[in-house]
Amino acid sequence: MAFNVVWLIGLCSLLLSYGVHVEASHKVCLDLQSYEHTTATHQPFRTGYHFQPAKNWINDPNGPMIYKGIYHLLYQYNPKGSVWGNIVWAHTTSTDLVNWVHHEPAIYPSIESDINGCWSGSTTILPGAKPAILYTGIDPQNRQVQNIAFPKNLSDPFLREWTKLPQNPLMTPIDGINASSFRDPTTAWKAPDGKWRVIIGSKTGRRGKAILYKSKDFIKWDRVNRPLHSSKKTGMWECPDFFPVSVKSEVGLDTSVITPDVKHVLKVSLDDTKHEYYTIGTYKLKKDKYVPNKGSIDDDSGLRYDYGKFYASKTFFDNSKNRRILWGWVNESDSEHDAVKRGWAGVQAIPRNIWLDKSGKQLVQWPVEEIEKLHEKPVDLQSTELKKGSVIEVSGVTASQADVEVSFALSTLEKAENMDPSWKNPQLLCSQKGASVKGSIGPFGLLVLASEGLEEQTSIFFRVFKDQEKYVVLMCSDQSRSSLRKDHLLDKTTYGAFLDVDPQHEELSLRSLIDHSIVESFGGKGKVCITSRVYPEKAQYDKAHLYVFNNGTENIRVSKLSAWSMKKAQIIY
């Protein structure tokens, strides 16, 4: 059977090379599903408090919402195997965004306009607290079309059954739209003229675009002559998201809020690079046009929610706590063959609260407060000197399943290494100057999922450089030593970003959520986020260790460190 699986994966790759049409984001060989089996009983990489189903493939979070006090997470799911294919909308609910109960799939192929797949989309709460799902279906001609579904019974707070309208599809790829690049409708917003707007991701050539539609009744949609926004040389825009943020507070806003006190965010997921980027700008309602702020980079080198493994994200407005919550999909870093052997692939990141930074130049993210209900066995480390070359273990915490926050105070910046003008790419700089490369002020930070002898370690750290009269802070997640496994298919990319903080006047803070095979790190109180997916061979379960370290020549002080073991979330399948 193992031979057949390998052979089929090879056949799938061969078919792809001959141009057989498959969904652009995911390689798929549908025949592989019937040959799948898993003999894996030892599962050290399954997470304890991140969301994942019992088995099989997952990807994009879809249509997250709150309805009658119940949170709903819907997501792309393959009920037949652990590689992409046979996609339905799986459905799970929660009262706290931590513990989840699974239901039957909410949407699955059942009508002509989605018979070949039910792909990503969003939920909009219509007047009368009526949820509506807009989603991409694949029709018999393999065209991407937009469909709608409503709850069958609004009195059911779990919304377990959904009904598709006979008017489907509502939007089709006409008037020159690329039928294979027309997907992922956003949450709609209602403008003062009483009409709903929604955008669909698309492209023309390599120009990514957000095609705009309007509707009075949410059923009949008319295409606007020009896109809400587009950008050259960015390729297909998947999973677009468009929402307002307050310039005055951290309070989240309903998607339809349009006032002088808000800015708008446009996020797109780039099919070409598998990165996401966002811009902050102004929604010009009269022209139905979005204009990024001056200086807001409108391509793959722009601002990102997360500089690691994080894609196809989706936000929703949580009216119970007046916050905007961000969900993101975290894919694996190993091969499809590993996924088949394991029996599953993919997790969802911890939901994050998201708001506009006081500077107005970027967004800030922080894990939802509910995750702290899993804290237990707190460990604190106060005002500890980290001399050059020192490594100090944080003992008393379950290092394979933990939440750790640390603040570093820098006594002097005089000997900071000069910033070379050519160092424009932070990820490349992090790979060149990893945790083992000694510097002046840094690298210093955390070693997580580390073995006792440090043969295995994932390093999240800072370096400080001097750039003329200012200082530049680099944040990195170095996975190069994350696993002893020798496998050319194992992605050990080092991630990095520049952190917009002033080390002269503020401490450098870092929070890492560690969960067996995933590490979500938040630098500068959420100004930079990096998610890593790692597979340690030795640093598993109680063999995992947690350390703070300083590999620079200048001493660093840990002003405060707090760590907690994390209880396991309850996920009922």
DSSP character string of 401-414: EEEEEEEEE-S--T
To the query of whether residue 478 is one of the catalytic residues in this protein, the response is no
Catalytic residue among 31, 60, 184, 420: 60
Phi then psi for residue 519, to 5 deg, are -130, 115
Locate 277 and state its tokens.
Answer: 């980027």
DSSP character string of 204-264: ETTEEEEEEEEESSSSS-EE-SS-SEEETT---EEEEEEEEEESS-S----TT---TTEEE
Cβ within 8 Å of residue 564, ≥6 positions away: 375, 376, 377, 378, 379, 397, 402, 403, 404
Could you tell me if 214 and 220 are in contact, meaning their C-beta atoms sit under 8 angstroms apart?
A: no
- Kind plus residue range of the DSSP H or E element containing 496: strand 495-499
Q: 56-67 and 344-345: which strand pairing? A: parallel
At 371, is the secondary structure helix, strand, or coil?
helix
**Cβ neighbours, 10 Å, residue 418:** 10
* Residues 30, 16: Cα–Cα separation, whole Å: 12
Could you tell me if 337 and 40 are in contact, meaning their C-beta atoms sit under 8 angstroms apart?
A: no
Cis bond leading into 169, ω under 30°? yes
Kindly tell me the burial class for residue 46, based on how many C-beta atoms sit within 10 Å of its own C-beta (0-12, 13-18, 19 or more).
middle
* Residues 137, 517: Cα–Cα separation, whole Å: 33
* Residues 192, 296: Cα–Cα separation, whole Å: 27
Kindly tell me the burial class for residue 157, based on how many C-beta atoms sit within 10 Å of its own C-beta (0-12, 13-18, 19 or more).
middle
Could you tell me if 214 and 195 are in contact, meaning their C-beta atoms sit under 8 angstroms apart?
A: yes
**Residue 162 identity:** W
What is the phi-psi region of residue 135: left when phi exceeds 0, alpha when psi lies from -120 to 50, beta otherwise? beta
List the catalytic residues. 60
